Structure 1
Amino acid sequence: MDPDEDRYRAPALDKGLDILELLAEIDGGLTQAEIAKRLGRSPNEFYRMLDRLVRRGYVTRLEGDRYSLTLKLFGLAQLHLPVRRLVSYATPFMRELAEQTRQANQLAVFDRGSVVVVAQHEAPGYWGISIRVGSHIGLYDTGSGHVLLAFRSQEERLMMIDEYSASGEETKIEAEFFERLDQIRERGYEAMPSAQTAGVFNLSAPVLGPDGRAIAALTIPYIILVNASHAPDMAQTERMLTRTSRQLSKLAGADFELPK
């Protein structure tokens, strides 16, 4: 070992990072004893560190005294370069999508218990529904929220719901809601009447990362344009939306096709 590296070691920090890196590789979590065994240390060495990680929200304690990562690290990552890069890559595609569909569109991510709009493009004509960048929107009652949940594992869905509820948006979730999420995942997109604005349909599709999980949701708040000639209908708009989401997913590293 380099003498300088040994000189500036921070054992407590190393221990915490070892735990985070280990739990990041495990589905379903590990007990304190299992963590200690895998890291070659005594279980007592990790009690205080696990307690602090739980209190700071990086780790959660599951039934059976198992510890698992929360989505806090993912949320922190959303504030940094990846989201700015995603918005930069997405902008020309969102502009083209608006021109093709004659509708506005927006890009949203899940960030520390909230669904946040990180980019939006206005409709090219006089009429369109747009949401300000930085707006926080619903997880349960929006197409974006549904898509962000649908393309996640059940464990991650429950973590997202817990974090959202912790922000003051507590809602009872029925089994039918998770069935709907599975249907969205199978279909490849969400189409639902807006719960906020009459006459608007939320059409939403995921932007997937290399692991197949949604890193963002691309949404068109679709309105019927009565006097617009050659404006695509809702079915055509859905196809244009999913095609654009597939293009963005490939840029994000996804190497498979979404349902067409």
Structure 2
Amino acid sequence: MTDTNDRYRAPALDKGLDILELLAGIEGGLTQAEIAKALGRSPNEFYRMLERLARRGYVARVEGDRYALTLKMFGMAQFHAPTRRLASLATPLLRDLAERTRQANQLVVFDRGNAVVIAQQEAPGYWGISIRVGSHINLFDTGSGNVLLAFSSPERRLAMVAENSDTGAPARAIPAELEARFEIVRGRGYEVKPSAQTVGVTNLSAPVLSPSGEAIAAVTIPYLPLVDGEAAPSPEEATKALVETTAELSRFAGYGAEGETFASE
């Protein structure tokens, strides 16, 4: 609603924000004419604005002449204050997890088609696998990526996969074998997956859940068996410590406050 007492109006900015807010609540996108009708304006008023929003990656053409919101704003939000706050809250817990397991670990979020490391802890001993903060890791063949996908609603999961394709195409179906894998991961609450990048490493991954039960992050231990005599917990013990850590982080994020989650349906 327009404030008639607003002395600092920016009509072009308002028009762009109106489009984004409209598309945020629409499944499948809208044509230029449908956008204009919904906003009570002429279709010609929106052509240049839609082209600029598409060029900047905020909207994408789908099914020919329809426009849909991309995940760019979601990705931007991941690196805004809430994500920094999550990394700050996670740091002492990740440090404690590293001490308990004698293994390195990392905190990962989804950002514009990729899993991105936003915090990490080195192993306390001489040996461990670490990944630089800011690294992009594969969404499909890593434990973190699988957990982020598994603990997302079906609609969001399709959008994440479409974003990962980097083609601007509509969301495509997820292979049945992956969906079956995600069901197993949701059922037990964590992922155990041999590393596709490093021989001998097993990725132990668990989700940090939002109040709705969707993953806002994943914590992964790249478990490395130690053979130099240094005492270390077993993979099973490390997994137990990991799940306890992510449960604590999920409580920080408000998980459990609403009582029901999509994952338990």
TM-score range, shorter chain: 0.7 to 0.9
Q: Do the aligned partners of 2:158 and 2:174 also contact (CA within 8 Å) in 1? A: no
Counterpart of 1:71? 71
| CA distance in 2: counterparts of 1:51 and 1:135, whole angstroms | 31
Within 5 Å, give how 1:40-51 maps onto structure 2: 40-51=40-51
2:230 maps to 228
RMSD: 2.7
Residue 194 of structure 2 corresponds to 193
- Tell me by how many angstroms 1:51 deviates: 3.2
Deviation for aligned residue 1:88: 0.5
Displacement after TM superposition at 1:43 (Å):
4.4
Q: Is the 8 A contact 2:97 2:245 kept in 1?
A: yes
Matched residues, number: 252
The 1:209–1:131 alpha-carbon spacing in structure 2 relative to 1, beyond 3 Å, is same
* Counterpart residue identity of residue 221, structure 2: I
Which residue is 2:141 aligned to? Answer: 141
2:84 and 2:147 map into 1 onto residues whose CA distance is 21
Inter-partner Cα distance in structure 2 for 1:36 and 1:180 = 43
Q: TM-score, normalised by structure 1?
A: 0.84
The one-letter code sitting in structure 2 at the alignment partner of 1:177 is L
The residue aligned with 1:153 is 153
What SS does the corresponding residue of 1:205 show, helix, strand or coil?
strand
TM-score w.r.t. the length of structure 2 is 0.82
Alignment match, 1:252: 253
Provide the rounded CA distance (Å) in 2 between the counterparts of 1:200 and 1:41: 58
**8 Å contact from structure 2 (residues 94, 121) kept in 1:** yes
Hey, what's the Cα distance between the residues in 2 that align with 1:101 and 1:68?
A: 44
Alignment of 1:71-220 (within 5 A): 71-166=71-166, 174-220=175-221
- 5+ long unaligned stretches in structure 1: none
Match of 1:185, as an amino acid?
Answer: R
Shift in Å at residue 30 of structure 1? 4.1
Distance 1:20 1:78 in 2: 18
After superposing the two structures, state which structure 1 stretch, 140-149 or 85-94, moved more.
Answer: 140-149
Residue 55 to residue 137, structure 1, CA distance change in 2 (3 Å) = same
Secondary structure of the structure 1 residue equivalent to 2:46: helix
